[in-house]
């Protein structure tokens, strides 16, 4: 249709040109031919060309240049700003890549109305071979597997953590290694200090599969109000044919308030004292005997104590039903006055300390810029203040307490079942210590009773 109209226009132009100029091959005919040919070849670019030619100072464009431009396909390149996945450890790089890939995929999947039994057994996995893009940061071959993605997405929602925030926390910058940790494998903290990533064994993965369905039902029942760990995801990362299993949880300590003292309490003082090697660390993990020797107490109001005991009793009943034992109470203490002194010392010195990958945490750190959702506080926070929607394990000390403190309390190591191995360990210790001795390894009911009794005595 365009060719027919152009040809008829050309014929009329030729007739008028011949009548006016008397010679069909003159300059005017060349201009008409050039215009008509351009219209035939570039009907969709006429408006653009007229605009360019009518602009002041617009240079003349040869026909050959237009023809060459027509054959060139314009490409759009988007610079990668965030998803670089740069980490010194290839396992961490693959973890960052996998989390980003998983969350992006989940965003395309409708949220199910209700979870089915298969959702607690499902998994998604991807295998990448001969990977060339971003090869400076990612290995050439790797595998990434996510366990129970729909179940964990539902748990994150119930714990008030949006997937976008979760993705930013784990994928924007590399997690930080906990060099002082006692764990055999990796123990990591997300760069914004809101999440903890713990390396677990393949046996613990199986235990988590057994535990997860009942755990999810319990979280639904208690509306997320619990001292139990908030499990958010579980992954397997395979690099160079070696599997690494990772469990992601919410950090029980604050992302903003520095923890000055830490205790891991089981309710038994037998062989429960931190070693000398542990005590010389920047943040040693003290134990039951240290708690007693330091005459440490927790100063909270009667109302807060009642809430804590209610949560603890409910959580322990659940753990007993699951035949879980050997769990601990993780207690972190933030000294408000000490933090204020440290901040004043830093201000008076005038020297800005550069914080390395595992460097010292300032007394009052701030959330990384640009993180939306639960990481943004609605108002500035002063000394000893915290956002209860972020620091869900935090409790203020009571009015009239000897010291202004903030306590962080939660239950850890909740995947140990009372199986044959634990029964054998209990029998061996009973023979060694005597039947009436206080033994750490006991059956779940006895462990729960001892734990409750001890917990009720830590308060002033």
Confidence of residue 81 (pLDDT cuts 50, 70, 90): very low
∠ CA(46), CA(52), CA(58), 5° rounding?
145
Q: What is the pLDDT of the chain when averaged over all its residues?
A: 79
User: Which 8-state DSSP code applies to residue 123?
Assistant: E
**At which residue do the structure tokens 């235990």 appear?**
207
Lowest mean pLDDT among 165-179, 187-201, 314-328: 165-179
Q: What is the pLDDT of residues 346-394, one digit of tens each?
A: 777 665 544 444 444 444 444 444 344 445 544 567 788 999 999 999 9
pLDDT of 61 over the 80 cut: no
Architecture of 78-251 per CATH? 2-Layer Sandwich (3.30)
- H helices of 271-391, in order, are 276-279, 288-293, 302-321, 336-349
Strands annotated E in 47-138: 123-128
Q: What is the rounded CA–CA span in Å between residue 80 and residue 169?
A: 18
Lowest mean pLDDT among 169-183, 256-270, 352-366: 352-366
Mean pLDDT of 116-125: 96
Residue 335 annotated as catalytic: no
52, containing H or E segment: helix 46-54
Given this model, what pLDDT does residue 322 score?
95
Domain layout of the chain by residue ranges:
1-49, 78-251, 258-352+366-460
The two beta strands, 242-250 and 195-200, are antiparallel
Instruction: Find the catalytic residue in 145, 198, 305, 422.
Output: 198
330, containing H or E segment: strand 328-335
Instruction: Find the catalytic residue in 119, 288, 326, 387.
Output: 326
Between 62 and 459, the higher pLDDT residue: 459
Residue 326 annotated as catalytic: yes
Cα 357 to Cα 94, 174, 177, 253, distances in angstroms: 19, 9, 8, 18
Strands annotated E in 78-216: 123-128, 142-147, 176-177, 187-189, 195-200
pLDDT of 185 over the 80 cut: no
Lowest mean pLDDT among 123-137, 226-240, 333-347: 123-137
Confidence of residue 454 (pLDDT cuts 50, 70, 90): very high
Q: What is the rounded CA–CA span in Å between residue 335 and residue 383?
A: 10
Q: What is the pLDDT of residues 388-432, one digit of tens each?
A: 999 999 999 999 999 999 999 999 999 988 764 555 555 555 545
Q: What is the rounded CA–CA span in Å between residue 252 and residue 264?
A: 13
Q: For the chain, what percent of residues have pLDDT higher than 90?
A: 53
Q: What CATH class has 258-352+366-460?
A: alpha beta
Chain-centroid distance of CA 453 in Å reads 35
Q: Among candidates 164, 206, 452, 151, which has minimal Cα distance to 315?
A: 452
Mean pLDDT of 171-180: 84
Confidence of residue 202 (pLDDT cuts 50, 70, 90): very high
The dihedral sign for the CA sequence 216, 221, 223, 229: negative
């Amino acid at each position: 249709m365009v060719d027919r109209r152009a040809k008829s226009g050309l014929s009329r132009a030729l007739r008028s040109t011949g009548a006016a100029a008397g010679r069909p091959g003159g300059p005017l005919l060349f201009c008409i031919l050039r215009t008509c040919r351009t219209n035939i070849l570039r009907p969709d670019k006429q408006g653009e060309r007229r605009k360019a030619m009518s602009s002041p100072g617009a240079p003349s464009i040869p026909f050959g240049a237009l023809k060459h431009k027509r054959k060139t396909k314009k490409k759009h390149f988007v610079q990668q700003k965030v998803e670089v996945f740069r980490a010194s450890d290839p396992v961490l790089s693959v973890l960052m890549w996998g989390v980003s890939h998983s969350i992006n995929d989940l965003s395309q999947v409708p949220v199910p109305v209700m979870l089915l039994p298969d959702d607690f057994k499902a998994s998604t996995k991807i295998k990448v071979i001969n990977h060339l893009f971003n090869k400076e940061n990612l290995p050439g071959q790797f595998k990434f597997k996510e366990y129970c993605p729909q179940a964990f997405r539902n748990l994150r929602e119930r714990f008030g953590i949006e997937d976008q925030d979760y993705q930013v926390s784990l994928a924007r910058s590399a997690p930080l290694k906990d060099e002082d940790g006692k764990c055999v494998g990796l123990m990591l903290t997300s760069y914004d200090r809101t999440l903890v990533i713990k390396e677990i064994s393949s046996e613990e993965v199986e235990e988590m599969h057994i535990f997860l369905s009942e755990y999810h039902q319990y979280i639904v029942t208690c509306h997320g109000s619990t001292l139990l760990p908030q499990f958010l995801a579980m992954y397997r990362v395979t690099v160079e044919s070696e599997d690494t299993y990772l469990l992601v949880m919410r950090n029980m300590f604050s992302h903003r308030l520095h923890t000055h003292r830490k205790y891991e309490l089981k309710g038994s003082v037998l062989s429960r004292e931190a070693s000398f090697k542990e005590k010389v660390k920047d943040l040693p993990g003290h134990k039951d005997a240290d708690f007693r020797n330091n005459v440490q107490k927790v100063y909270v109001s009667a109302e807060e104590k009642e809430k804590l005991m209610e949560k603890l009793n409910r959580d322990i009943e659940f753990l007993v039903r699951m035949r879980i034992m050997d769990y601990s109470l993780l207690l972190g203490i933030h000294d408000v006055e000490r933090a204020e002194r440290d901040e004043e010392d830093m201000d008076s010195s005038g020297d800005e300390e550069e914080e390395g990958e595992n460097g010292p945490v300032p007394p009052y750190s701030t959330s990384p810029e640009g993180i939306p959702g639960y990481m943004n506080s609605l108002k500035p926070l002063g000394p000893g203040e915290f956002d209860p929607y972020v620091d869900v394990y935090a409790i203020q000390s009571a009015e009239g307490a000897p010291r202004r403190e903030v306590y962080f309390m939660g239950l850890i190591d909740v995947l140990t079942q009372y199986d044959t191995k634990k029964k054998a360990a209990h029998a061996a210790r009973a023979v060694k210590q005597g039947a009436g001795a206080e033994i750490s390894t006991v059956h779940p009911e006895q462990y729960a009773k001892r734990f409750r009794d001890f917990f009720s005595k830590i308060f002033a």
